[in-house]
Amino acid sequence: MNCNLDTVLAQFCYDSRVIGCERHGCGHINTTYLVVCESGHRYILQKINHTVFNDVEALMHNISAVIDFLAKKASDPRTIMKLIPARSGADYLCMPDGSYWRSYDYVENTICLQRPDSPEDFYQSAVAFGNFQYQLADFPASTLNETIPNFHNTVDRYRIFHDALNRDAYNRSRLVREEIAFVLAHEKEAGILMEMQKSGKLPLRVTHNDTKLNNVLLDGKTRKALCVIDLDTVMPGLSVYDFGDAIRFGASTADEDEKDLHKVEMSLELFGIFAGGFLGACPSLTETERQMLPMGAKMMTLECGVRFLTDYLDGDHYFAIHYEDQNLYRSRTQFKLVEDMEKKWEQMNQICGSFH
Ligand code: GN1
Ligand code: MG
């Protein structure tokens, strides 16, 4: 039996009676609602995908620790997410049907974008993510749980891809020969970043790991960077993951599932703008980290494409899809972006080298 939303809503400490609750946002993993109360106060309610995050307690421990840490450094409370406790006093709720829920204050007068309306919007997201990483530089990383083990371990993502391909449970591999060939042709590069981390060339930091443009809120009035959201994957990681994942999504000239690949390019202009904002807000990166930013962009894009294609082969159980073959279209845009980055490789390196 599935619990109904009213029963869930009744268990959170909202300031007045709930008068509305609608689906909200574009996340691929959790299910998000916008809650409106009689007072006019609004909240975010999320059903946590506990197939993806199977230790919800560990996940919520991370989030509240990160929020508390950032809140101590922040001068404006709107810059940090605020968890709304359940009536039990806990910061999440487990319902009798086994579903998990949490709630946040809704940050009013903010903008959440799927694509930058202007280069300045993208610059602001770079400032937000660069600053986020900078603020967490002295967070005690060993107290963080790994909410999804091997999240950006591209070599392991390839292992899972091979498993799915061998199973071919939905008999779909015959439909995606070209995409499979692309993935296999890039396999030898998959370990580059992790090897550099293991040999001490790239330092382990506390990173966000999911730096899509829609995981940052801009101030509605000033359009300046305000608040980084979606803290589920804050874990020890590499700075170049955060840079790279943001490029993958926000420097693309088209949507993540664009069907017309002619429209999909990695904009060098946006790449440069993001690099400037990110490096300016996070001045502590080492020379090697700076040099590896283009590789971070390429690896995060390749890895995400591999993950989308794996999920397509596996029957679309991980990423939420809104129409058939959406994961396949998503994977194609990622591979097109990787190809485009390979063409623009020299310029990408030049741009990163120009910020000293
Ligand atoms: C997911 O949850 P959301 O939509 O912000 C995914 C990211 C992918 C992204 C692709 C926990 O992010 O890793 O890069 O989709 N999050 C998780 O759009 O797997
Ligand atoms: Mg998100």
Task: List all residues whose CB is within 6 A of at least one atom of ligand 1.
Answer: 27-29, 52, 210, 212, 215, 230, 232-233, 256, 304
Per residue in 46-85, pLDDT tens? 999 999 999 999 999 999 999 999 999 999 999 999 999 9
Question: Is there a contact between 270 and 251 (Cβ–Cβ < 8 Å)?
Answer: yes
In a structure prediction context, what are the per-residue pLDDT tens digits for the chain, which is 356 residues long? 567 999 999 999 999 999 999 999 999 999 999 999 999 999 999 999 999 999 999 999 999 999 999 999 999 999 999 999 999 999 999 999 999 999 999 999 999 999 999 999 999 999 999 999 999 999 998 899 999 999 999 999 999 999 999 999 999 999 999 999 999 999 999 999 999 999 999 999 999 999 999 999 999 999 999 999 999 999 999 999 999 999 999 999 999 999 999 999 999 999 999 999 999 999 999 999 999 999 999 999 999 999 999 999 999 999 999 999 999 999 999 999 999 999 999 999 999 999 87
- In the chain the domains, ranked by start, together with CATH numbers, are 3-108 (3.30.200.20), 119-353 (3.90.1200.10)
Measured in angstroms, how far is the CA atom of residue 145 from the centroid of ligand 2? 19
Phi, psi of 36 (to 5 degrees): -115, 130
Distances (CA, A) of 13 to 17, 18, 38, 87, 294: 10, 11, 13, 6, 45
| 239 touches 193 (CB < 8 A) | no
pLDDT digits (tens, 9 = 90+) for 104-135: 999 999 999 999 999 999 999 999 999 999 99
Residue nearest ligand 1's atom 17 by CA: 29
**3-state DSSP assignment of residue 310:** helix
Strands 31-37 and 42-48: antiparallel
Mutate which of 210, 211, 232, 258 for ligand 1? The one with the most ligand atoms within 8 Å of its CB, which is 210
Distance 3 CA to ligand 1 centre (A): 26
